[in-house]
Amino acid sequence: MKFDLNNDKLYRMEHYNMNLTVKVWRQKNSKDKGGFVSYPVNNISSEMSFLEMIDVLNEKLIVEGGEPIAFDHDCREGICGNCSLYINGKPHGPWKANTTCQLHMRAFKDGDTIVVEPWRAGAFPVIKDLMVDRSAFDRIIQAGGYISVNTGNAVDGNSLPINKDLADASFAAAMCIGCGACVAACKNSSAMLFLSAKVSHLALLPQGEPERKSRVMNMVAQMDKEGFGACTNTGACEATCPKEISITNIARLNKEYLFAGLTSDK
């Protein structure tokens, strides 16, 4: 379904029920070849979330003696970054700045066929059905996405003056929930939006200064090691990011990398 802010069918608020066909990627395990299976799903409320619709389908599958569809989810509040799903050709479905758990069935109409795929990237291997292994992101964070100081007790908010614009930019970068939609959307399966958000978040604050150079170098090296592609600035990641992380962060990461590469002693 094409994303269109002016299409009231995508946003209409009155309640209605619908019958759908859900075409889901089924894969027993990481070694299985996998393939699409179509399921009819009837009497779905427009007020259900997308994950609740899959819950209904799974209950039906269990009653019929089948294997429920495996998918990632946790908070179902749009803040944990656990849900994924590539829905009708777009990570997290047709709505802008939205996670799959916050996608509601009013985004669809009666009779629709919805194609649901896992994130596709060599660095995110499928574990089962729609679940992928995103531990590559954890290892990128372990390579440098932290500050090696004992923070101790909370200090007075004004003891360390920080420019408001920089604090805001840092906070906007820190909004990244690490869901991996940027990788899923990127034609190169690049993790640059995620990485740049994590680097920018710390590079913009004085607390991140001491490890500024080693952080960006180590995190880029780990990203390459995990098998993500290189960024070509297409902007597909920014367009699909549920937290609207800007690709300006990628340009900042490039600057951080170039500066570290040219001036690092090691």
Interaction between residue 46 and other proteins (CB under 8 A): no
Q: Which secondary structure element, helix H or strand E, spans residue 251, and what is its range?
A: helix 248-263
- What does the per-residue mask of binding to other proteins show for 69-88, with x meaning CB under 8 A? -----------------x-x
Interaction between residue 173 and other proteins (CB under 8 A): no
Interaction between residue 217 and other proteins (CB under 8 A): yes
List 40, 66, 122, 210, residue binding other proteins (CB under 8 A): 122
Q: Measured between alpha carbons, how far is 64 from 56 in angstroms, rounded to an integer?
A: 13
The letter for the amino acid at 54 is I
Binding segment toward other proteins, per CB under 8 A, in 6-14, 48-56, 145-153, 224-232 = 224-232
Q: Total residues contacting other proteins (rule CB under 8 A)?
A: 57
- How, if at all, do strands 86-87 and 35-45 pair? unpaired
Interaction between residue 257 and other proteins (CB under 8 A): yes
Interaction between residue 39 and other proteins (CB under 8 A): no
List 40, 66, 89, 206, residue binding other proteins (CB under 8 A): 89
Output Rg (C-alpha) for the chain, integer angstroms. Answer: 21
Query: Residue 58: how many CB atoms within 10 A of its CB?
Result: 16
List 10, 70, 127, 251, residue binding other proteins (CB under 8 A): 251
Binding segment toward other proteins, per CB under 8 A, in 7-15, 61-69, 154-162, 240-248 = 240-248
Helix axes 248-263, 192-203, angle to 10 degrees: 70
List 19, 120, 167, 244, residue binding other proteins (CB under 8 A): 120
List 36, 135, 163, 171, residue binding other proteins (CB under 8 A): 36
Contact 170, 195 (CB under 8 A): no
Residues near other proteins (CB under 8 A): 2-3, 23, 36, 86, 88-91, 115, 117, 120-123, 185, 187-190, 217, 220-221, 223-224, 227-240, 247-262, 264, 266
